[in-house]
């Protein structure tokens, strides 16, 4: 069995009440994400409506899988992770340790194997995984993200790197080295090339 | 892509090689040994592809299509049935992976990699119109793409986010775009 990281135990991930608290923070983050959601208010009905969205159901399954993993029920944890993969097409390994207030706007295709602090945002199709093939080893092989980190769509974070607090990784960036706190990580700008239209072919 | 028929024993032999390679990769990572490797999503994805490929080569297109759809439904991977992928295939995280090509032995596909044709280039170099041909021991990084009629040599490693649009010789590392840091304009 993979050893459980000490900071994961310090956050109380071995207790069932932590799942409830973390999910509550996830729902609150979801409800505060846009003016429309904020206008709906924070009551039982809006919380239940938010809870039934795929964004939060996939986090619920991940948090249950992580709880089972930390408590030594590894096979059950893997089963719940497989269920998450089957239903939501999200691959968050049970070894991963993610803090409260996580937000996945479009969960399909997200792959995460590492550790992250509070207020993590993972946009669609982003990948955080070890450098070598496979997402079944210890979470330390993957990236270690600080608090309030945002990973843009189609971004890749590879290997055991550390990303500082409040850092934003722009879409389509491949990051395989340490990133300091409070920076914006960008990649080469997209180049547009003018293609003259040929007569008789019409516009594309 | 090859239209040569495969017998069940040939398909099973390829599957056994896929299973051996996945087991070796999992053992290298030192993680928990799966209770049943047959239920691992990476293996389920490869198993369904091998079955669809078998039926596709036998001429049962509708059965092949059924297993192709089942694969997309269960694992989220889109591997076209006529694709000719050699033994030792490992797909690390199946959701979002798209493959339509001819490849040699020991192909490793990391999350969200895409191999196939692109618009406009329809030349056939042995895998079908506009499709690439990959050599042995190729490793494709996360979110990379190999597009169009290109030849990728043996023991090539394509880095994360790289897009291959021209031929790559043997023993090459293709690097993706490098990241750079900017001070945030809206510090917290």
**Across the strands, what pairs with B158?**
B140, B174
* Distance from C-alpha of B113 to C-alpha of B62, rounded to nearest angstrom: 26
Residue B140 confidence (pLDDT) above 90: yes
Rounded mean pLDDT of A125-146? Answer: 85
Let me know if A155 is exposed, middle or buried by CB neighbors in 10 A (0-12, 13-18, 19+): buried
* Strands B133-134 vs B151-152: parallel, antiparallel or unpaired: parallel
Residue A199 confidence (pLDDT) above 60: no
Say what the pLDDT of residue A166 is: 92
Task: Assess contact for B131 and B149: CB atoms under 8 A.
Answer: yes
Number of domains in chain A: 1
pLDDT category of residue B185 using cuts at 50, 70 and 90:
low
The CA-based diameter of chain A, rounded to the nearest angstrom, is 69
Q: Quote the tokens at residue B157.
A: 């490693």
SS3 for B161?
Answer: coil
For the stretch B171-180, pLDDT in tens is 999 988 888 8
B41: nearest CA partner in chain A: A82
CATH number at residue B27: 2.160.10.10
pLDDT category of residue A79 using cuts at 50, 70 and 90:
very high
Let me know if A85 is exposed, middle or buried by CB neighbors in 10 A (0-12, 13-18, 19+): buried
B160: nearest CA partner in chain A: A174
- Range(s) of the domain holding residue B128: 8-174
Q: Nearest CA of chain B to the CA of A140: how many Å?
A: 11
Interface test with B, best of A1, A110, A127 (most B CBs within 10 A): A127
Judge: A82–B39 Cβ closer than 8 Å, yes or no: yes
- Is residue B110 less than 8 Å (CB to CB) from chain A? yes
pLDDT category of residue A141 using cuts at 50, 70 and 90:
confident
**Across the strands, what pairs with A16?**
none
Say what the pLDDT of residue B43 is: 93
Write down the pTM of the prediction: 0.83
Judge: B74–A86 Cβ closer than 8 Å, yes or no: yes
> Is B186 a domain residue?
no
CATH number at residue A39: 2.160.10.10
Judge: B35–A132 Cβ closer than 8 Å, yes or no: no
Residue with tokens 């706007």: A105
Rounded mean pLDDT of A155-172? Answer: 92
Sign of the alpha-carbon dihedral angle for A9, A14, A17, A21 = positive
Q: Quote the tokens at residue A14.
A: 């071995």
Rounded mean pLDDT of A51-61? Answer: 91
Judge: B96–A108 Cβ closer than 8 Å, yes or no: yes
CB-CB neighbors (< 8 A) of B39 in chain A = 82
Judge: A158–B160 Cβ closer than 8 Å, yes or no: yes
Residue A173 confidence (pLDDT) above 50: yes
Task: Assess contact for B54 and B85: CB atoms under 8 A.
Answer: no
Say what the pLDDT of residue A204 is: 43
Q: Is the model more confident about A36 or about B118?
A: B118
> Is B181 a domain residue?
no
CB-CB neighbors (< 8 A) of B111 in chain A = 91, 111, 127, 129
> Is A193 a domain residue?
no
- Range(s) of the domain holding residue A20: 6-185
Residue A107 confidence (pLDDT) above 80: yes
* Distance from C-alpha of A149 to C-alpha of B185, rounded to nearest angstrom: 15
How high is the mean pLDDT of chain A? 86
Residue A187 confidence (pLDDT) above 90: no
Instruction: At B99, give phi and psi (nearest 5°).
Output: -135, 130
> Is B18 a domain residue?
yes
CB-CB neighbors (< 8 A) of A136 in chain B = 26, 29, 31-32, 34
Cα distance from N-terminal residue to C-terminal residue, chain A: 55
- Determine if residue A101 is left, alpha or beta; phi over 0 gives left, psi from -120 to 50 gives alpha, anything else beta: left
Say what the pLDDT of residue B26 is: 83
Could you tell me how far CA B30 lies from the centroid of its own chain? 24
Q: Is the model more confident about B157 or about B30?
A: B157
> Is B146 a domain residue?
yes
> Is B188 a domain residue?
no
DSSP readout, A84-121? Answer: HHHHH--EE-TT-EE-SS-B-SS-TT-EE-SEE-SS-E
Nearest by CB to residue A133, choosing from B95, B110, B143, is B110
* Distance from C-alpha of A8 to C-alpha of A14, rounded to nearest angstrom: 8
For the stretch A60-76, pLDDT in tens is 999 999 999 999 898 89
Task: Assess contact for A39 and A31: CB atoms under 8 A.
Answer: no
Judge: A111–B29 Cβ closer than 8 Å, yes or no: no
For the stretch B40-83, pLDDT in tens is 889 999 999 999 999 999 999 999 999 999 999 999 999 999 99
Q: Nearest CA of chain A to the CA of B94: how many Å?
A: 9
> Is A199 a domain residue?
no
């Amino acid at each position: 069995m993979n050893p459980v990281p000490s900071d994961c135990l310090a956050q109380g991930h071995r207790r069932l009440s932590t799942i409830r608290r973390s999910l509550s923070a996830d729902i609150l983050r979801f409800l505060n994400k846009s003016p429309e959601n904020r206008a709906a208010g924070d009551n039982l009905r809006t919380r239940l409506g938010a809870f039934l969205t795929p964004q939060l159901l996939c986090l619920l399954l991940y948090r249950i899988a992580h709880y089972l993993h930390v408590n030594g029920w590894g096979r059950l944890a893997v089963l719940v992770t497989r269920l998450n993969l089957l239903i939501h097409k999200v691959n968050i390994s049970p070894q991963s340790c993610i803090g409260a207030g996580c937000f996945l706007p479009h969960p399909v295709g997200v792959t995460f194997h590492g550790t992250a602090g509070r207020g993590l945002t993972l946009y669609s199709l982003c990948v955080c995984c070890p450098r070598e093939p496979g997402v079944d080893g210890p979470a330390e092989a993957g990236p270690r993200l600080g608090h309030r980190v945002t990973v843009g769509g189609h971004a890749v974070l590879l290997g055991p790197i550390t990303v500082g607090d409040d850092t934003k990784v722009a879409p389509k960036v491949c990051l395989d080295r340490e990133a300091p706190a409070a920076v914006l990580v960008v990649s080469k700008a997209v180049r547009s090339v003018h293609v003259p239209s040929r007569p008789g072919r019409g516009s594309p | 892509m090859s239209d040569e028929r495969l017998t069940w024993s040939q398909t099973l032999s390829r599957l056994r090689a896929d299973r051996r390679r996945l087991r070796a990769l999992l053992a290298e990572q030192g993680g928990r040994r799966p209770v049943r490797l047959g239920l691992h999503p990476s293996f389920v994805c490869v198993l369904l592809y091998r079955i669809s490929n078998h039926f596709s080569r036998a001429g049962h297109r509708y059965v092949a299509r059924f297993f192709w759809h089942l694969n997309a439904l269960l694992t989220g991977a889109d591997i076209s049935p006529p694709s000719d992928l050699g033994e030792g295939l490992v797909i690390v995280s199946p959701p979002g992976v798209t493959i339509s090509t001819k490849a040699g032995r020991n192909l490793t596909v990391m999350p969200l990699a895409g191999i196939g044709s692109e618009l406009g280039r329809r030349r056939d170099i042995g895998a079908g119109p506009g499709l690439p041909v990959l050599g042995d021991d190729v490793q494709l990084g996360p979110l990379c793409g190999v597009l169009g009629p290109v030849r990728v040599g043996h023991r090539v490693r394509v880095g994360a986010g790289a897009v291959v649009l021209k031929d790559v010789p043997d023993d090459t590392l293709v690097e993706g775009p490098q990241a750079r840091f900017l001070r945030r304009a809206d510090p917290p």
